[in-house]
Structure 1
Amino acid sequence: MKTIKWVSAALPLLILTACNHQPKDQSSEMPKRTVFFDKSGMDTTVNPADNLFLYANGTWLKNTKIPPSETGWGGMYSMTVENRKQLHQILEDVSKQDNPKDSKEQKVGDLYLSGMDTTAIDKLGYEPVKPLLAKIDAVKDYKQLIDLSASTFNDGDGFLFGFYTAPDDKNSKLNVAHFDQTGLELPERDYYFNADSASVKIRAAYVTYITKLFTLTGVDAATAAKKAADILKLETAIAQSHLTPTELRDPQKNYNKFAVKDFAKQIPDIDFEHVLTLMNIHTDTILVGQPKYYVALDKLLKTQPIGIWKDKLDFMALDASSSLLSKPFRDAHFEFYGKVLNGQKQQKERWRDMVEVIDNGLGELLGQLYVAKYFPPDAKKRMLDLVNNLQAVYKERIERLDWMSPATKEKALAKLAAFSKKIGYPDKWKNYDDVTISKDAYYKNMQSISKHNYNEELKKINKPVDKTEWQMTPSTVDAYNNPYNNEIVFPAGILQFPFFDKDADDAINYGAIGVVIGHEMTHSFDDQGRQYDKDGNLKDWWTPEDAAKFKQRVQVLINQYNGYTVLNNLHVNGRLTQGENLADNGGMAIAYEAFKRTPEGKSDTKIDGFTPDQRFFLSLAQVWRMKKSDEAVRMDINTNPHSPPMYRTNGPMSNMPSFYKAFNVKPGNKMYRPDSTRVKVW
C-alpha cells in the first residue's frame, strides 16, 4: 500500500514514425503535428464489431517486435521512452554546465554524472554496502536483529517494518504513522504457494538469484545455495501472514488504529515502543494495515534460527543495493527481475536507468527543468477546460441515475463539486536542501536521498496534511486519484501526444485524455473511492439500499472481466481489477457524452474516412495499443489492478450503446452483450 491509492489512469500509444517528420512549432520544444491517427496499424480484415482492439491495432501487433531492452512495446513503453529522451537531454545539458553548488542544476547534473561513471562504480565492487553487512554480522540474537532493523531506517536502510506517513483515512486532515505488511521480495504472497510450472520456475530462479548475490560476496557455492533455500523457506512462512492483492483493496479491512501501547501488547517480543524510539517516531497512535503480519513476525523472530534471519537481512541489503553496485551485481539483479519476472531480453542503456533514478529521487528538481522546456502554459489551460467539461457531464449523469436515491445523490454531487484539480506540476516545489550530491560518489548520493525521504516522512507525523503536495513527479507518464484529498492529478508527462495535443481534433483528445479524465473522476466512485466522503474521510455516506444496488451492478462487471483470458489459460481477476474496470467504463461513458457536446461531436464530417464517433472509439483503442512479453502479462494478471489492454478497450465499449451504433454491432457479433449483462453503474 502506498501513501495514496495509485491509479494508472491511462497509458499512451506508440509514437508514430510519421510524426517524427512534422513541421516544428516555433512556440515550444515539441514538434507540431498534423497527423493524429495511425491507419497503417489497423487490420481491416477484422470486423470491428467482433474485436475493435484488433481492428484498430492488428497489423501493428503482427508487425511489431518488442525491443530486447523492453518488457513490452506500444502504449506506455514508447511514450515513456520519448519522455525519457527529453529528460536525458536535459541531464546531458546541465551536467556539462558550471552550476552553482546546491542548485537544482548541480544536484541533478552531478547525480547523473556519478551514476554514469560505471568505471568508478565497478571498481568499488560491493564495498559501499559492507558497513551495513558488518552491522548485520555483529547481531547476536533476535532482539539485536529487531534493533538493527529499526535503527537503520535513519540511515536510509531499515528492515522488516513497512513504515510510511499518510493521512488518517478517517481524519484526512491529519498525517499519521502507518505500518503495513512487508518482508517479501517476490511480487506478492501467492508467488510462494502457486504450484503451476511458471511459478515453480520463478521460485527456482529466485533461489539462483539469492545464491548468486552471496557468491559475489565471497561465500562458497554450497553455503550460498543453503542460505538461499533457507531464505525462501522463511519468506514462505512470512507470506502466510500476508493479505492478497484483492484483500488489500478493502479500505475498511486495512484500517486498524491502535494506541502504540495497545499494539505493543499484541507483539510482546518485538518491544514495539522501543522500535519506534529507535526509528525516531514519536507518536501515541498508529495505523496498522495488516496486523497479522506483525503478529506472525513476532512469532517467527523467536522460532527461526538467528543465522537464517541474519542471512535474510544480508540478502535484503544486497538486493536493495544491487542496482547501485558493480556490474556483476547489476547483472544478477537484471537476470532475475528483468528476464525471469518480466521477460526483458537485455538491459536498458545506462542513461535510461539514470533518468529513472533521478526522476524518482530528485523528481521535483528535474521536474522544474522539464516543465520549463516541454509544458507550455496554454496546454494547462486547455486541459483545465477539458476537466471542467467532463465534470459538468458527470454531474448530469449522477442526477439522471435511476438506481440511486436522492439522499445518496446529494452526497455524491457534493463530492464531485469538491474535486481538487492538479494539472502539470505543483504550485509549491519540494525542498531538497538536506540532500548532498557530488560527481564521484553515486552510492553516497543515493544514501543522502534515502535519508532525506525518511526524514520527510518523520516530519509529517501528526502534522496537518499538505494538500499542495504531489505524489507523482511532473514528468511522469501517468495520472492518479487521491481519495484523501478528493483530488485528480495529471502530471505534465501525460499531457503530450498521443494523449493530448492542443492541435488535435476533439474526437482524438476526448477519446484519449478525455477518457483519462473521466477515468480519474470515476475512481472517486469506484469500489474503494466511493467509501471516502467529499473531505477525503473513510466514511459511509451511502444508504444501505443504494450500497446494495451498487454492489449488484459491480458484480455484473466482475463477472464480465472474469470471463476474459490471456495466454490461453490465465483469467483476468475481475475482483482485483474491478476498480480500474469501473473507472475505464465510467471514464469512457463520460468522455463520450462530453465529446458529443463539441461541434465535431455534433457533426457527421469524416476525418481519415471515419465518422466522429468512430474516431473517438478508435482514438482510445490506439491509446491502448500495446504488446507485452508473456512474463510481463503473467505478472500483470497476478498483481496489476488494471485489465490487459485489449480488455480495457473492448470491455467498456461492449457496454456502450453508442459504440454499437457507431460500428453496427448486432447479436451474433463477438462484442455484442445482451442488455441484461451490460454494465450500468456511472
Structure 2
Amino acid sequence: MSCSKDDKELAGPDLSGVDAAVRPQDDLYRHINGTWLKEYQLPPDKVAFSSFDEVSDRVQEQLRAIIEGLEDPKPGSEAQQIRDVYDARMNLDEIEQLGMTPLEDLFGQIDAAPGKPELAKVMAELPLGGLIGMGISIDRKNSDAYIPEVSQSGLGMGEQYYRKPELASKRAAYRTLLESIAKGAGFADPAGMADRVLELETRIAAGHWDNVKARNTDATYNRMSWTEMVALAPQYDWDAWLSGMTERPKNLFDTVVVRQPSYVTHAGNLWGEVDLALWREYLKLTLVRTYARYLPKAVSDANFEYVKVMNGLEKRPDTWKSAVAVVDDNLGEQLGKLYVDKHFPKEAKDQVLAMVDDLKAAYRENFENSGWMSPATRAAAIAKLDKIQAHVGYPDKWQDYSGLTITRGKLIQSLRAVNAFESKRSMERLGTPVDKAEWISNPQTVNAFYAAVFNRITFPAAFLQAPFFDKDAQPAVNFGAGAAVIGHEIGHGFDDQGSKYDGDGNLKDWWTPEDRAAFEARTAKIVAQYDPLVPEGLAPEQHVDGKLTLGENVADLRGLQMSLAAFRIAEKRRGVDNPDYRPLFEAWARNWRNKSTDEYAERLLTSDTHAPAEFRANQVVRNLPEFYAAYGVQEGDKLFLAEDQRVTF
C-alpha cells in the first residue's frame, strides 16, 4: 500500500495498554494489552469488551442519534418503521399495560389445534424455529439455485447444556427461567410446566448433532427427495407442517437438503411419542421465552436473571441500547441506509480494495511456491483465488420494504410482522435465479465475512475505522490490523471447510487425495496446538476445543501469514526491502484486546468457533518465522514453539 507521508508522520500502533514487565517473546498479547487488562473495568451492563465492541459502541451511539433525529417521519416510510419500533421498545409503561396480549392470539391457535396435524401447521406458522427448522439456502452443490434446507431445532440452550454434568448449574438456571416466565405469563402449574418442558427439550437435545459435527459441510449436505425425507420420519406431519410454513407450490420442495438426517428421525419419533398437551405447553413456553425481553417485568426480569447466570452480566443495559438493538436486528437494512449517508468512511474503501489486491497477490505467490501442493491443486487454488469478489461498504441495490407494516405502539406485533415478511421473502426465492449481488450483512455491522457459496469477502462500512483501518496510520499498522482481517476472510476460502468449495461457490472436491492428506496433516497439528490451551483465570478443564475452532484458527494463521507477505509486497513498492515487522505484530495483538466475565468466557468455549482472544494473538505468531526474527525469540521463551510443531501454509 503506497503512502504519501513519511511513516514518522503517521500514527504507529496503539501502545497505550503496553505492560513493559511482560516480554513479547513470552506473551505478545499481554505485552501489548497487559496494562489495559489490569486497569480496564468491565461496565456492569457488559459481559465482554473487545476492539470490536469499542467500534460497536461508537456505532451504537451514532445509530441512536440517527433514530432519535427522525422526527415526524412520513407515514409508511422506512423512517417511520424505524422510529415506531424504537419508540415502542422505549415505552416500558405501554409494554406493562399490554401484558401478554401480544401473544394471546398465538396461544389461542395452539390450544385450538385438535390434533397433531393441525398443531404441526400452527407450529410452522409461529415466529420460532419449532421442532424441525427449514430455511431457503443457496444449493451448496449448485450455487446458481436455491434449495430448502431442513435442520435440527427446538432448543432453548445449546445441546451441550442438556447433557454435560459440569453444566448442571446452567441447566438449573434455565429451569428457573422456564418456571418464572410460565408464572409471569399466567400459565397454570408453572413449576410442573417447567419440569415437563425441560424434560422434553432434554429429549430433543439427545438427537442433536454437536457443534463440531454440525459445522462439517460434507456431513450436513444430504440432498434427497421430499419423499425420502418423509421416510426418515413418517410419524411427523410433514404436509401439514409445510402448509403452515408457506403457500408456495409443494413441487418447489420436491428436492431438499437435510442437514442432520439422524436428528430428523429422532424428532419424528418424539413427535409421535409425546402427547398433544405437552407439545402445546412446549410451544407456548417457547413463545414466551422468545419474546421475554419485550414482555412485562414479571417475564423480562426473569429473563435477565437467567442472562446474569449464563454470562455474568450484572446490570441490564440501558433501554435505549436495547431499543437500538431491536431496530438493528429487525430493520437493519433500512437503518443501514441512513447510517451510510452520514457515516460511511469513503476514503477507507479504496484503501481496503488496495489491501485486497495486495493480499490476493500474496496468496497467489504463496500458492505458486507451495511445495506441498501438486500442480493440479495449485492451479485450482489460484483459479479460486482469482474469482474471489469483495463487497466493501454497502449494497449497490437496497431491498424494498414498502410491503412491511409496522404498528405504532405495538412492539411484538411489529416484530412478528418483520418475521413474517422476511420468511415470505425467503420462500419466494425458491425457483428464482440466485442474486449474486445480495449482501449478507448490514452496513452498520462491525465485522467481516467470507461466504463460501458466493466465494466473496464482505467488509461493511462500520468496520472500516480504527483500530481496524486508519488512513493516517503507518502501513505496518493497517497491515497488522485491517489487512490481517482481510487475509483471514480470504483464508476461510481455504480452511478445513471452505477449501471444499470451488471458485464458483460449489461444494466440489478440487484437491488430489495426496494434497488433501497433506493439508489435513497440517490442520491436525493446529488442533493439537489449540486443544490444551486454557484461558487465564479459568479452571484446567475449561480448555479450547481445537476441532470446533479449527476453521477460524486456520483463517487466523493464513490471514496473518499472508498479511506479512502483502506488507512485504507493499513495502517493496515503496523501495523498502527489509521492513520492520514489530509495528505489524503490535497492531495484530491490539486487534484482539478483550476482557470478559468468566461466565461468558466459559460459555464461548462450548459454542464459539473462534479461539479466545489471547490465543488468537499469541498462538498464531508462534508459527511464523517473522515473529521469531522480529523479537529474537529463542528456545526457553514462552512463545517458542519447536520447529516440527509449527504450521504454515
TM-score by length of 2: 0.95
Q: Which residue is 2:331 aligned to? A: 362
The more displaced of 593-602 and 672-681 is 593-602
Q: Which residue is 2:285 aligned to? A: 315
Q: Secondary structure at the match of 1:179?
A: strand
AA matched with 1:129: L
AA matched with 1:641: T
Give the Cα separation in 1 of the matches to 2:629 and 2:10. Answer: 28
| Residues 1:260 and 2:226 aligned together | yes
Superposed structure 1 runs of 4+ greater than 6 Å apart: 600-606
Contact (CA 8 Å) 2:133, 2:150: kept in 1 or not? yes
Give the Cα separation in 2 of the matches to 1:528 and 1:547. Answer: 12
Q: Which residue is 2:592 aligned to? A: 624
**Mapping for residues 229-244 of structure 1, pairs under 5 Å:** 229-244=195-210
Q: Which residue is 2:20 aligned to? A: 44
- Cα deviation, 1:161-187, whole Å, max 9, x if unaligned, reads 31111111111110111111001111x
Contact (CA 8 Å) 2:66, 2:338: kept in 1 or not? yes
Q: 1:262 offset after TM fit, Å? A: 2.1
Q: Which residue is 1:404 aligned to? A: 373
Q: 1:467 offset after TM fit, Å? A: 1.1
Give the Cα separation in 1 of the matches to 2:179 and 2:32. Answer: 46
Q: Secondary structure at the match of 1:598?
A: helix
Give the Cα separation in 2 of the matches to 1:678 and 1:572. Answer: 18
Give the Cα separation in 2 of the matches to 1:425 and 1:134. Answer: 42
| Residues 1:105 and 2:75 aligned together | no
The more displaced of 163-172 and 435-444 is 435-444
Match of 2:297 among 324, 327, 336: 327
| Residues 1:69 and 2:45 aligned together | yes
Contact (CA 8 Å) 1:129, 1:321: kept in 2 or not? no
Q: Which residue is 1:10 aligned to? A: none
Q: Which residue is 1:593 aligned to? A: 565
Contact (CA 8 Å) 2:185, 2:288: kept in 1 or not? no
Match of 1:171 among 124, 142, 149: 142
Match of 1:493 among 462, 469, 482: 462
Match of 2:153 among 161, 164, 182: 182
Contact (CA 8 Å) 1:507, 1:600: kept in 2 or not? no
Contact (CA 8 Å) 2:32, 2:590: kept in 1 or not? yes
Q: 1:157 offset after TM fit, Å? A: 4.7
Q: Which residue is 1:419 aligned to? A: 388
The more displaced of 431-440 and 391-400 is 431-440
Give the Cα separation in 2 of the matches to 1:398 and 1:491. Answer: 28
Q: 1:599 offset after TM fit, Å? A: 3.9
Give the Cα separation in 2 of the matches to 1:300 and 1:73. Answer: 41
Q: Which residue is 2:6 aligned to? A: none
The more displaced of 670-679 and 226-235 is 226-235
Q: Which residue is 1:502 aligned to? A: 471
Q: Which residue is 2:261 aligned to? A: 291
- Cα deviation, 1:9-46, whole Å, max 9, x if unaligned, reads xxxxxxxxxxxxxxxxxxxxxxxx97553323111111
Give the Cα separation in 1 of the matches to 2:52 and 2:565. Answer: 26
- Cα deviation, 1:193-244, whole Å, max 9, x if unaligned, reads 1111xx1110011010000011112245xx2111111111111111111101
Contact (CA 8 Å) 2:121, 2:242: kept in 1 or not? no
Q: Which residue is 1:534 aligned to? A: 503
Q: 1:605 offset after TM fit, Å? A: 13
Q: Secondary structure at the match of 1:302?
A: helix
Q: 1:414 offset after TM fit, Å? A: 0.3
AA matched with 1:224: P
Q: Secondary structure at the match of 2:69?
A: helix
| Residues 1:678 and 2:646 aligned together | yes
Q: 1:506 offset after TM fit, Å? A: 0.7
Contact (CA 8 Å) 2:330, 2:418: kept in 1 or not? yes
- Cα deviation, 1:554-592, whole Å, max 9, x if unaligned, reads 111110011211213111111110100000000001111
Q: 1:656 offset after TM fit, Å? A: 0.6
AA matched with 2:302: A
- Cα deviation, 1:521-553, whole Å, max 9, x if unaligned, reads 010000000000111111111000001100011
Q: Secondary structure at the match of 1:162?
A: strand
Structure 2's unaligned 5+ residue stretches are 1-8
Q: Which residue is 1:246 aligned to? A: 212
Give the Cα separation in 2 of the matches to 1:617 and 1:379. Answer: 22
Contact (CA 8 Å) 1:596, 1:602: kept in 2 or not? no
- Cα deviation, 1:606-659, whole Å, max 9, x if unaligned, reads 9xxxx8411100101111000111111111110000000000001110001101
Match of 1:161 among 110, 132, 144: 132
Q: Which residue is 2:556 aligned to? A: 584
Q: In 2 relative to 1, CA 99–136 (structure 1 residues): closer, same or farther, beyond 3 Å?
A: same
Contact (CA 8 Å) 2:77, 2:402: kept in 1 or not? no
| Residues 1:565 and 2:537 aligned together | no
- Cα deviation, 1:111-167, whole Å, max 9, x if unaligned, reads 2122211211121111111111122222343333222212x24xx456223111111
Q: In 2 relative to 1, CA 335–601 (structure 1 residues): closer, same or farther, beyond 3 Å?
A: farther
Q: Which residue is 2:245 aligned to? A: 279
Q: 1:305 offset after TM fit, Å? A: 2.8
Q: Which residue is 2:117 aligned to? A: 143
AA matched with 1:663: Y
Q: In 2 relative to 1, CA 122–650 (structure 1 residues): closer, same or farther, beyond 3 Å?
A: same
Match of 2:582 among 591, 609, 614: 614
Structure 1's unaligned 5+ residue stretches are 1-32
AA matched with 1:320: T
The more displaced of 596-605 and 372-381 is 596-605
Contact (CA 8 Å) 1:506, 1:600: kept in 2 or not? no
Q: Secondary structure at the match of 1:440?
A: coil
Q: Which residue is 2:5 aligned to? A: none
Q: Secondary structure at the match of 1:180?
A: strand
The more displaced of 211-220 and 454-463 is 211-220
Q: Which residue is 2:3 aligned to? A: none
Q: In 2 relative to 1, CA 255–158 (structure 1 residues): closer, same or farther, beyond 3 Å?
A: closer
- Cα deviation, 1:479-538, whole Å, max 9, x if unaligned, reads 110000110111111111110111111111111110000000010000000000111111
Match of 1:515 among 484, 499, 513: 484
Identity, in percent, stands at 35
AA matched with 2:86: Y
Q: Which residue is 1:7 aligned to? A: none
| Residues 1:653 and 2:621 aligned together | yes
Give the Cα separation in 1 of the matches to 2:483 and 2:460. Answer: 15
Give the Cα separation in 2 of the matches to 1:660 and 1:294. Answer: 50
Match of 1:435 among 382, 401, 404: 404
Q: Which residue is 1:343 aligned to? A: 312
Give the Cα separation in 2 of the matches to 1:115 and 1:600. Answer: 54
Contact (CA 8 Å) 1:595, 1:601: kept in 2 or not? no
Contact (CA 8 Å) 2:118, 2:240: kept in 1 or not? no
RMSD of aligned residue pairs (Cα, Å): 1.9
Query: How many residue pairs get matched?
Result: 634
| Residues 1:206 and 2:178 aligned together | no
| Residues 1:444 and 2:416 aligned together | no
Q: In 2 relative to 1, CA 208–603 (structure 1 residues): closer, same or farther, beyond 3 Å?
A: farther
Q: 1:322 offset after TM fit, Å? A: 1.2
Q: Secondary structure at the match of 2:211?
A: coil
AA matched with 1:238: I
The more displaced of 161-170 and 304-313 is 304-313
Contact (CA 8 Å) 2:121, 2:243: kept in 1 or not? no
TM-score by length of 1: 0.90
Contact (CA 8 Å) 1:43, 1:56: kept in 2 or not? yes
